[in-house]
Structure 1
Amino acid sequence: MSERNVAKGSCLCGAVNISTTSMNPHVAACHCSMCRKWGGGALLGVECNDGVSFDGEENIGVYQSSEWAERGFCNKCGSHLFYRLKQNNHYYIPVGIFDNSEGLIFDLQVFIEQKPKYYSFANQTKNMTGEELFTMFTSSSEN
Protein backbone atom coordinates (compact mmCIF):
# COMPACT_ATOMS: atom_id res chain seq x y z
CA MET A 1 0.00 0.00 0.00
CA SER A 2 1.37 3.42 -0.88
CA GLU A 3 2.32 6.08 1.67
CA ARG A 4 -0.73 8.16 0.69
CA ASN A 5 -3.03 5.28 1.74
CA VAL A 6 -1.65 5.23 5.27
CA ALA A 7 -3.93 6.90 7.82
CA LYS A 8 -1.96 8.58 10.59
CA GLY A 9 -2.87 10.18 13.87
CA SER A 10 -1.82 10.74 17.45
CA CYS A 11 -3.03 11.25 20.97
CA LEU A 12 -3.55 14.79 22.28
CA CYS A 13 -0.01 15.20 23.64
CA GLY A 14 1.74 13.39 20.76
CA ALA A 15 3.35 10.71 22.96
CA VAL A 16 1.59 7.98 20.93
CA ASN A 17 1.38 7.98 17.14
CA ILE A 18 -0.87 5.60 15.22
CA SER A 19 -0.72 4.51 11.60
CA THR A 20 -2.82 2.03 9.67
CA THR A 21 -3.21 0.79 6.14
CA SER A 22 -6.54 -0.87 6.89
CA MET A 23 -8.88 1.97 7.92
CA ASN A 24 -12.47 1.42 6.85
CA PRO A 25 -13.92 4.78 5.69
CA HIS A 26 -17.25 4.03 7.38
CA VAL A 27 -17.61 5.70 10.79
CA ALA A 28 -19.80 4.05 13.41
CA ALA A 29 -21.21 5.35 16.67
CA CYS A 30 -21.36 2.99 19.63
CA HIS A 31 -23.92 3.91 22.27
CA CYS A 32 -23.17 1.07 24.72
CA SER A 33 -22.90 2.06 28.36
CA MET A 34 -19.17 1.19 28.50
CA CYS A 35 -18.29 3.43 25.53
CA ARG A 36 -20.37 6.26 26.97
CA LYS A 37 -18.64 5.95 30.36
CA TRP A 38 -15.24 5.69 28.66
CA GLY A 39 -15.62 8.88 26.65
CA GLY A 40 -18.58 10.77 28.11
CA GLY A 41 -20.67 10.15 24.97
CA ALA A 42 -21.00 7.85 22.01
CA LEU A 43 -17.74 6.46 20.63
CA LEU A 44 -17.30 7.57 17.01
CA GLY A 45 -14.88 5.05 15.62
CA VAL A 46 -13.48 3.45 12.50
CA GLU A 47 -12.68 -0.21 11.99
CA CYS A 48 -9.01 -0.88 11.34
CA ASN A 49 -8.69 -4.68 11.34
CA ASP A 50 -5.24 -5.73 12.54
CA GLY A 51 -3.13 -3.45 10.32
CA VAL A 52 -2.40 -0.91 13.06
CA SER A 53 1.02 0.16 14.32
CA PHE A 54 1.96 2.38 17.24
CA ASP A 55 4.98 4.57 17.90
CA GLY A 56 5.36 5.34 21.61
CA GLU A 57 3.94 2.02 22.80
CA GLU A 58 5.59 2.56 26.20
CA ASN A 59 2.99 5.32 26.75
CA ILE A 60 -0.01 3.07 26.11
CA GLY A 61 -2.09 1.82 29.01
CA VAL A 62 -4.57 -1.00 28.49
CA TYR A 63 -7.80 -1.67 30.34
CA GLN A 64 -9.37 -5.14 30.03
CA SER A 65 -12.99 -4.00 29.64
CA SER A 66 -14.44 -7.48 29.00
CA GLU A 67 -13.47 -11.09 28.34
CA TRP A 68 -13.27 -10.38 24.62
CA ALA A 69 -12.00 -6.79 24.38
CA GLU A 70 -9.61 -4.22 25.77
CA ARG A 71 -9.34 -0.44 25.55
CA GLY A 72 -6.11 1.47 25.08
CA PHE A 73 -5.29 4.98 26.23
CA CYS A 74 -2.29 7.31 26.46
CA ASN A 75 -0.68 7.19 29.91
CA LYS A 76 0.46 10.82 29.51
CA CYS A 77 -2.67 12.71 28.36
CA GLY A 78 -5.45 10.13 28.74
CA SER A 79 -6.53 10.16 25.08
CA HIS A 80 -8.54 7.14 24.02
CA LEU A 81 -6.53 5.21 21.45
CA PHE A 82 -8.42 2.02 20.63
CA TYR A 83 -10.98 -0.63 21.39
CA ARG A 84 -9.48 -4.01 20.43
CA LEU A 85 -11.16 -7.39 20.05
CA LYS A 86 -8.68 -9.87 21.54
CA GLN A 87 -9.76 -12.90 19.49
CA ASN A 88 -8.64 -11.51 16.13
CA ASN A 89 -6.61 -8.40 17.09
CA HIS A 90 -9.31 -6.28 15.41
CA TYR A 91 -9.10 -2.54 16.21
CA TYR A 92 -11.74 0.17 16.38
CA ILE A 93 -10.10 3.56 16.72
CA PRO A 94 -11.75 6.86 17.68
CA VAL A 95 -12.02 8.76 14.40
CA GLY A 96 -10.83 12.02 16.00
CA ILE A 97 -7.37 10.49 16.53
CA PHE A 98 -6.65 10.65 12.80
CA ASP A 99 -5.16 13.74 11.15
CA ASN A 100 -7.34 13.55 8.03
CA SER A 101 -11.08 12.89 7.92
CA GLU A 102 -11.47 13.29 4.15
CA GLY A 103 -13.67 10.66 2.55
CA LEU A 104 -15.13 9.32 5.80
CA ILE A 105 -18.83 8.48 5.98
CA PHE A 106 -20.88 8.24 9.21
CA ASP A 107 -23.40 5.52 8.44
CA LEU A 108 -23.81 3.10 11.37
CA GLN A 109 -24.99 3.25 14.98
CA VAL A 110 -24.69 0.22 17.27
CA PHE A 111 -26.23 -0.53 20.64
CA ILE A 112 -28.98 1.81 19.50
CA GLU A 113 -31.24 0.50 22.27
CA GLN A 114 -28.82 1.98 24.84
CA LYS A 115 -28.67 5.46 23.25
CA PRO A 116 -29.94 8.07 25.72
CA LYS A 117 -32.83 10.26 24.60
CA TYR A 118 -30.92 13.53 25.21
CA TYR A 119 -28.98 13.39 21.92
CA SER A 120 -29.60 12.34 18.35
CA PHE A 121 -27.46 12.40 15.20
CA ALA A 122 -28.89 13.98 12.06
CA ASN A 123 -27.25 11.50 9.65
CA GLN A 124 -29.31 8.71 8.14
CA THR A 125 -27.61 5.56 9.40
CA LYS A 126 -28.11 1.86 9.71
CA ASN A 127 -29.06 1.16 13.34
CA MET A 128 -28.24 -2.10 15.09
CA THR A 129 -29.02 -3.36 18.58
CA GLY A 130 -26.31 -4.97 20.67
CA GLU A 131 -27.89 -8.37 20.06
CA GLU A 132 -27.80 -7.83 16.28
CA LEU A 133 -24.16 -6.77 16.47
CA PHE A 134 -23.12 -9.82 18.53
CA THR A 135 -25.04 -12.08 16.14
CA MET A 136 -23.17 -10.53 13.20
CA PHE A 137 -19.77 -11.09 14.92
CA THR A 138 -20.69 -14.65 15.88
CA SER A 139 -21.84 -15.62 12.39
CA SER A 140 -18.82 -14.01 10.68
CA SER A 141 -16.36 -15.82 12.99
CA GLU A 142 -17.97 -19.18 12.16
CA ASN A 143 -17.37 -18.78 8.41
Structure 2
Amino acid sequence: MCGAVRFTARDVPATCGVCHCEMCRRWTGSALIEVSVPTENVTWEDETYLGRFASSHWAERGFCTRCGTGLFFRVTMEGEWFGSTELPIGVFDDPNGFEIAHQIFIDHKPDSFAYSGQETHTLLTRAECVAKFSVLDEDAPVG
Protein backbone atom coordinates (compact mmCIF):
# COMPACT_ATOMS: atom_id res chain seq x y z
CA MET A 1 0.00 0.00 0.00
CA CYS A 2 2.79 2.42 0.89
CA GLY A 3 5.25 1.14 -1.75
CA ALA A 4 8.11 0.47 0.69
CA VAL A 5 8.25 -3.19 -0.39
CA ARG A 6 8.35 -3.98 -4.10
CA PHE A 7 8.94 -7.20 -5.96
CA THR A 8 9.35 -8.64 -9.40
CA ALA A 9 7.73 -11.96 -10.29
CA ARG A 10 8.74 -13.93 -13.38
CA ASP A 11 6.69 -16.55 -15.25
CA VAL A 12 3.48 -15.65 -13.41
CA PRO A 13 0.66 -18.02 -14.39
CA ALA A 14 -2.60 -16.67 -15.80
CA THR A 15 -4.64 -18.63 -13.27
CA CYS A 16 -5.24 -17.87 -9.63
CA GLY A 17 -6.90 -19.56 -6.69
CA VAL A 18 -9.15 -18.52 -3.84
CA CYS A 19 -8.82 -19.67 -0.24
CA HIS A 20 -11.79 -19.25 2.09
CA CYS A 21 -10.19 -20.70 5.24
CA GLU A 22 -10.67 -18.78 8.45
CA MET A 23 -7.04 -17.69 8.70
CA CYS A 24 -6.90 -16.32 5.14
CA ARG A 25 -10.21 -14.52 5.64
CA ARG A 26 -8.90 -12.89 8.82
CA TRP A 27 -5.55 -12.03 7.21
CA THR A 28 -7.08 -10.37 4.15
CA GLY A 29 -10.45 -9.24 5.51
CA SER A 30 -12.01 -11.30 2.73
CA ALA A 31 -10.92 -14.35 0.74
CA LEU A 32 -7.29 -14.74 -0.28
CA ILE A 33 -7.25 -14.50 -4.07
CA GLU A 34 -3.72 -15.53 -4.97
CA VAL A 35 -1.42 -16.55 -7.74
CA SER A 36 1.14 -19.25 -7.06
CA VAL A 37 4.64 -18.43 -8.29
CA PRO A 38 7.77 -20.55 -7.77
CA THR A 39 9.65 -18.91 -4.89
CA GLU A 40 12.84 -18.58 -6.95
CA ASN A 41 10.83 -16.47 -9.46
CA VAL A 42 10.01 -13.79 -6.87
CA THR A 43 12.67 -11.14 -6.23
CA TRP A 44 12.21 -8.56 -3.48
CA GLU A 45 13.79 -5.22 -4.44
CA ASP A 46 14.50 -4.11 -0.86
CA GLU A 47 13.74 -6.24 2.19
CA THR A 48 14.17 -3.44 4.74
CA TYR A 49 10.41 -3.35 5.44
CA LEU A 50 9.64 -6.98 4.60
CA GLY A 51 8.36 -8.78 7.70
CA ARG A 52 7.61 -12.46 8.12
CA PHE A 53 5.20 -14.09 10.55
CA ALA A 54 5.13 -17.85 11.25
CA SER A 55 1.36 -18.28 11.01
CA SER A 56 1.59 -22.02 11.71
CA HIS A 57 4.27 -24.67 12.25
CA TRP A 58 4.38 -25.18 8.47
CA ALA A 59 3.80 -21.76 6.87
CA GLU A 60 4.63 -18.08 6.99
CA ARG A 61 3.00 -14.89 5.84
CA GLY A 62 4.88 -11.84 4.64
CA PHE A 63 3.88 -8.25 5.21
CA CYS A 64 5.15 -4.69 5.01
CA THR A 65 6.37 -3.61 8.45
CA ARG A 66 5.75 0.00 7.54
CA CYS A 67 2.05 -0.12 6.55
CA GLY A 68 0.98 -3.70 7.33
CA THR A 69 0.02 -4.78 3.80
CA GLY A 70 -0.13 -8.57 3.39
CA LEU A 71 2.37 -9.55 0.71
CA PHE A 72 2.60 -13.35 0.52
CA PHE A 73 1.79 -16.73 1.97
CA ARG A 74 4.45 -19.43 1.79
CA VAL A 75 4.67 -23.02 2.99
CA THR A 76 7.95 -23.48 4.87
CA MET A 77 7.71 -27.23 5.52
CA GLU A 78 8.89 -29.71 2.88
CA GLY A 79 5.93 -31.37 1.18
CA GLU A 80 3.13 -30.83 -1.33
CA TRP A 81 3.00 -27.03 -1.22
CA PHE A 82 6.68 -26.28 -0.58
CA GLY A 83 8.57 -24.22 -3.17
CA SER A 84 5.98 -21.67 -4.19
CA THR A 85 4.95 -18.26 -2.98
CA GLU A 86 1.29 -17.33 -3.00
CA LEU A 87 0.98 -13.66 -3.93
CA PRO A 88 -2.37 -11.89 -3.43
CA ILE A 89 -3.40 -10.53 -6.83
CA GLY A 90 -4.01 -7.13 -5.22
CA VAL A 91 -0.26 -6.62 -4.67
CA PHE A 92 0.42 -6.62 -8.42
CA ASP A 93 0.59 -3.23 -10.13
CA ASP A 94 -1.95 -4.65 -12.60
CA PRO A 95 -4.16 -7.31 -11.00
CA ASN A 96 -6.18 -7.85 -14.18
CA GLY A 97 -6.14 -10.87 -16.46
CA PHE A 98 -6.08 -13.68 -13.88
CA GLU A 99 -8.66 -16.43 -14.21
CA ILE A 100 -9.81 -18.32 -11.12
CA ALA A 101 -8.97 -22.02 -11.48
CA HIS A 102 -9.79 -23.31 -8.01
CA GLN A 103 -11.33 -22.46 -4.66
CA ILE A 104 -10.43 -24.23 -1.46
CA PHE A 105 -12.29 -24.39 1.85
CA ILE A 106 -15.38 -23.73 -0.23
CA ASP A 107 -17.58 -24.80 2.69
CA HIS A 108 -16.18 -21.82 4.64
CA LYS A 109 -17.01 -19.28 1.92
CA PRO A 110 -19.33 -16.53 3.16
CA ASP A 111 -22.72 -16.91 1.51
CA SER A 112 -22.51 -13.36 0.09
CA PHE A 113 -19.47 -14.25 -2.06
CA ALA A 114 -20.08 -15.27 -5.66
CA TYR A 115 -17.44 -15.65 -8.34
CA SER A 116 -18.26 -15.78 -12.03
CA GLY A 117 -17.38 -19.01 -13.79
CA GLN A 118 -17.57 -21.03 -10.59
CA GLU A 119 -18.95 -24.00 -12.50
CA THR A 120 -15.50 -24.43 -14.09
CA HIS A 121 -13.48 -24.06 -10.85
CA THR A 122 -12.09 -26.97 -8.91
CA LEU A 123 -13.86 -26.73 -5.54
CA LEU A 124 -12.46 -28.37 -2.40
CA THR A 125 -14.05 -28.41 1.05
CA ARG A 126 -12.03 -28.24 4.26
CA ALA A 127 -12.28 -32.03 4.68
CA GLU A 128 -11.09 -32.56 1.09
CA CYS A 129 -8.12 -30.21 1.67
CA VAL A 130 -7.16 -32.00 4.88
CA ALA A 131 -7.35 -35.36 3.08
CA LYS A 132 -5.36 -34.11 0.09
CA PHE A 133 -2.59 -32.18 1.85
CA SER A 134 -0.88 -34.07 4.67
CA VAL A 135 0.52 -30.89 6.24
CA LEU A 136 -2.99 -29.86 7.32
CA ASP A 137 -4.44 -30.97 10.62
CA GLU A 138 -8.17 -31.61 10.79
CA ASP A 139 -8.70 -29.52 13.92
CA ALA A 140 -5.91 -26.94 13.72
CA PRO A 141 -6.16 -23.50 12.14
CA VAL A 142 -4.95 -23.48 8.56
CA GLY A 143 -1.81 -21.68 7.36
2:139 matched residue in structure 1: none
1:137 is displaced (CA, Å) by 4.2
Confirm whether residue 25 of structure 1 aligns to residue 14 of structure 2: yes
Q: Which has the higher helix share?
A: 1
Flag the 1:134–1:79 CA change in 2: closer, same or farther, 3 A. Answer: same
1:13 matched residue in structure 2: 2
1:122 matched residue in structure 2: 116
Which segments of 5 or more consecutive residues in structure 2 lack a partner in the other structure?
Answer: 135-143
| More moved, 62-71 vs 100-109 | 100-109
2:62 matched residue in structure 1: 72
1:60-110: CA deviations, max 9, x gaps? 111111111000100111111000111334210001111234542122111
Q: Counterpart of 1:95 in structure 2: which amino acid?
A: I
* SS of 2:26 mapped into structure 1: helix
1:132 is displaced (CA, Å) by 2.9
TM-score, reference length from structure 2: 0.79
Confirm whether residue 81 of structure 1 aligns to residue 75 of structure 2: no
In structure 1, what is the Cα distance between the partners aligned to 2:133 and 2:39? 16
Q: Counterpart of 2:122 in structure 1: which amino acid?
A: K
In structure 2, what is the Cα distance between the partners aligned to 1:61 and 1:104? 26
1:110-143: CA deviations, max 9, x gaps? 11111122322233222112343344445xxxxx
TM-score, reference length from structure 1: 0.79
8 A Cα contact 1:22 1:50, kept in partner: no
Q: Counterpart of 2:125 in structure 1: which amino acid?
A: T
Flag the 1:42–1:102 CA change in 2: closer, same or farther, 3 A. Answer: closer
